[in-house]
Chain A
Amino acid sequence: MTAMLYIHQTHCIQPQQNPLQANIELINEPVDNKLLAFEPSYEQIPPGILRRMSKAIRMGVGAALPLISQPVPVNGIIIGTANAGMDDCVKFLNQIVQYEEGQLTPGSFVQSTGNVIAGQLGLISKNKGYNITHMHLGLAFENALIDAIMQLNTNPSNSYLVGGVDDLSLFNYNIEKLSGDYKEEAISNKDLYNVDSPGCIAGEGAAMFIVNTIKEYAVAKIMAIHTLHSTDVEFVKQQLKIFLQNNVQEGTEIDLFLSGENGDNRTTAYYTACETLLNYNATIVRYKHMIGDYATASAIGLWYACKILQTQQIPAQMIKHNLTKTVHRNILMYNNFEGLQHSFILVSAI
């Protein structure tokens, strides 16, 4: 099997100030079932621009700039986001209603478009290359990854910034809450996987990656990716079986399952079904109790996969199941968004 792409640098902004905290007592707790990002001071963003940015833009640009301010510029910017401009969108909407379609200020409108993060990054980093925004909800980041794979296939000497970003603004919290996506009862991180109720904890974050075709000094490689839409647990399991048959070579095995489990009892069956396809000694690791769940949460998942492969250490509180394995070289990521959008990503050590 040849790698589809190599990941070199990674950066993330997420609800945990120390994302690799091993002690569950020390991780940030949700407030009102929301895990809000721990934001840095964004010193690389000019203050005048920073003030006008919504949180999604700030986190996306803030997580990407440390990676693309390198001496060698990337050849393109590929972003996955479900809600990028939502906050400004509703701000502008409120203006429309409040001023009865009168003379409005266009600032929020311009920042309301979904491509605003990739656009701002192109502008700030003076990058005139490929620039695109994937917005297919729970597969927005996966489609961005597929895009990066295809760009590199076509232009093997290039490198790209690829990332996933979503914020939890009051407005999108309200809308998702009305759709029944979040838990009714207040819950702590420790209990997330033990309660039998619908809904998850709301979260937000941004994760960015520099990817290219160079093996040397890479931190991880993507071996395969597959996405599907289905509400049928058996079909999803069948698809994973085929994915593993096609992509896991004789003599190698999946030694870590990075599960997107989010405490929503409506999706537990999918994760359980996927776990049955693994060897019993595979380690199972979870992360949504630290970052909550949102459409592009799997981008943070990939960040964790890279860290585990790079450091060969797993924060104890993330482990669901571990027998004796101490070395992890092949990670299977499975994510399920709202019981409909599924992704399998195979990430391996170099």
Chain B
Amino acid sequence: MNRIFVTGMGVISAIGNSVAENHHALQESICGVRKELDLFPSKYAGVLPFGQVQISTELLQKKFHITEPGVTRTTMLAVHAFNEAITAARLSAVDLHSCDTALVGASTVGGMCLTDELFNDANKKTNGSVYTSSYDCASVCLYLQKRYHMNGIINTINTACSSSANAIMFGAMLLKNGFAKRAIVGGTDSLAKFTINGFNALHILSPDICTPFDEGRKGLNLGEGAAFLILEKEEDINGKNVYAELSGYCNTNDSYHPSSLSEQGDGPFLSMQGALQAANLLPDQIDFINAHGTGTENNDAVESRAMIRLFGKPPAFASTKGNIGHTLGAAGAIEAVYSIFNLMHQEVYPNLHFINPIASIGLSPVKLFKKMNVKHVMSNSFGFGGNCSSLVFSKV
């Protein structure tokens, strides 16, 4: 049968530093996106809204006794979520050292959160900072591997904004194919001058707090955070607490444009359809969709059309980007945790800041917190390079 279960999870985002805090904030419709940025000097600090994690880099460093030089905020956020996840799943040091424990991380920013240091090192303006080995996205998992003495398969995936959804998929595949007995999977990204200026140059950063799926949406807000999940096979559960089943997943490519989705959303349509097929479910069995819903003109319209194409009348759906912003490489994993909340607590959280449906489409996301029966949840993640991934989580 090879069923894959989630046996632990950890999350840190703009609305909370733990699973419990994030859950509470979602229930209370808390928006963590604010015109606040004090992590590094930037022209956009105080001007554009961001979903900043409410814990300083110095405090993170202290909390986890990180004394090595060159560890970035991106990595520290990962340590925070990783630590919570392994504690929840009660993984021992022996479990972590085991050749059967895999680690699959994802990041798009990696050490590039240190924009100015990278500028100096890449242009040889100094004799080398302590960060020369920290810039690429593998630096996060390499640090986790060393910190927790891990001996199994270690991987880092980067498919832009769908990265950590693919990390979750890859971890599940490792279990199903006998390459590992348990997999710690997730993603992390921190706010960076690099991504802020990049999305700004593309004119898709909203000057106001983002309004996913709203007719008047003006773009996305960048956020930061990390989430990790522990995946184990059904036969290895041994009475452990099970949060949910990862019942389906699919990765496709939209094959249309490097930074925007095709009008009819072939990539999103195919990834949602593939995930349903993998889960062996019919469209009407999906109770809720945690949409990618970034708040950009392009994404929300295309995702809506793809949902209509597949579902006819789409199930209840909402984007949590209005709570935490777009956390890029961490988004798939953070939203997987939120999707599991839907299943665990039998409730759905509203799509914040939504007022009017997109006129040409007419779809409205969930507007108010409500209790409802949720058996199967789909979570979407789409990224640059046409990378589209959908995951399905089911109640156990």
Contact = CB atoms under 8 A, between A and B. Distances in A.
Interface of A: 77, 82-83, 86, 89-90, 92-97, 100-106, 109-116, 118-120, 122-123, 125-137, 139-140, 143, 146-147, 149-151, 153-154, 171-172, 174-176, 178-179, 227-230, 340
Contact of B258 (A100, A119, A154): A119
Contacts of B108: 113-114
A84 to B, nearest CB: 8
A119 B156 contact: no
Given A101-B44, A134-B155, A135-B157, A128 B254 contact: yes
B64 interface: no
Contacts of B387: 115, 118-119, 131-132
A116 B201 CA distance: 18
Contacts, number: 207
B145 to A, nearest CB: 5
Nearest to A80: B155
A110 B44 CA distance: 20
Contacts of A97: 116, 119
Interface of B: 42-44, 99, 108, 112, 115-116, 118-119, 121-124, 127-128, 132-133, 135-138, 141-142, 145-146, 150-151, 153-160, 166, 170, 173-174, 176-177, 179, 193-194, 197-202, 251-259, 266-267, 270, 383-387
B156 A135 contact: yes
Contacts of B146: 229
Contacts of B197: 92, 95-96, 101, 104, 109
A132 to B, nearest CB: 6
Contacts of A139: 154-155
A135 B255 contact: no
Given A123-B257, A135-B138, A229-B150, A147 B123 contact: no
A115 B385 contact: yes
A303 to B, nearest CB: 22
B201 A122 contact: no
A246 to B, nearest CB: 12
Contacts of B198: 92, 106, 109-110, 112
A100 B42 CA distance: 9
Contact of B136 (A105, A125, A135): A135
Contact of B132 (A94, A154, A178): A178
Nearest to B170: A147
Contacts of B153: 143, 146, 227
B202 A110 contact: yes
Given A100-B43, A128-B267, A136 B155 contact: yes
Residue among A100, A115, A137, A140 facing the most chain B CB atoms (10 A cut-off): A115
Centre residue among B43, B146, B158, B170 by max chain A CB count within 10 A? B158
A123 B116 contact: no
Contact of A82 (B122, B123, B136): B136
A152 to B, nearest CB: 10
Contacts of B174: 146, 150
B257 A94 contact: no
A93 B166 CA distance: 27
A93 B150 CA distance: 34
Contacts of A147: 170, 173
B384 A115 contact: yes
A137 B122 contact: no
B105 to A, nearest CB: 9
B158 to A, nearest CB: 4
Contacts of B158: 113-115, 133, 135
Given A110-B259, A115-B160, A132-B159, A150 B253 contact: no
